[in-house]
Amino acid sequence: MLPDTAAQFIFQEAPLAHLVTFNPDGSPHITLAWVDERDGELLLATLFDQRKLANLRRDPRCAVSMEGQHVRPPGLREYLVVHGTARVEEGGAPELLQTLAGRHLGPDVAFPPMPNPPAGYVTHIAVDRVTGVGPWTD
């Protein structure tokens, strides 16, 4: 489970997720995305099928790093790294994107900016291990 301090960090600081998945040859694939937390898991929303989803269906291991705003002595910002296991579920992407758009773009922004968006995919990441530097590692 994600520590409460890490869940609060995601709600309050709205960090971007640097998502690492594995290509078929074992090389890392990295993309950035909005991220939410629910019931101790990380959630990502994707309108269209993408390589990261194909990677996660083949190998569900993944890692997500997120940078915070608070600077710790001697000068590096706090950050959260989650190592986890993903499952990709169909549907629900527009609703989750609307929630996240409120946090990232403003409370009155309608998102996704298109009529009749596809149902897309929601990726749930179950937390195996938390690292980084912050209240979640103190």
Site string for its own copies, 18-37 (x = CB under 8 A): x-x-----xxx-xxxxx---
Q: Name residue 38's beta-bridge partners.
A: 41
| Cα distance between residue 89 and residue 124, in whole Å | 8
Residue 14 lies near its own copies (rule: CB under 8 A)? no
First CA to last CA distance, the chain: 16
Contact (Cβ atoms closer than 8 angstroms) between residue 58 and residue 24: yes
- CA-only gyration radius of the chain, Å: 15
Residue 38 lies near its own copies (rule: CB under 8 A)? no
Token readout for 114 is 């298109």
Residue range at the interface with its own copies (CB under 8 A); choices 12-20, 37-45, 85-93, 119-127: 12-20
Residue range at the interface with its own copies (CB under 8 A); choices 5-13, 38-46, 98-106, 118-126: 98-106
Residues that bind its own copies in the complex, under the rule CB under 8 A = 16, 18, 20, 26-28, 30-34, 61, 63, 65, 67, 73-77, 79, 81, 83, 101, 104-105, 109, 111-113, 131-133
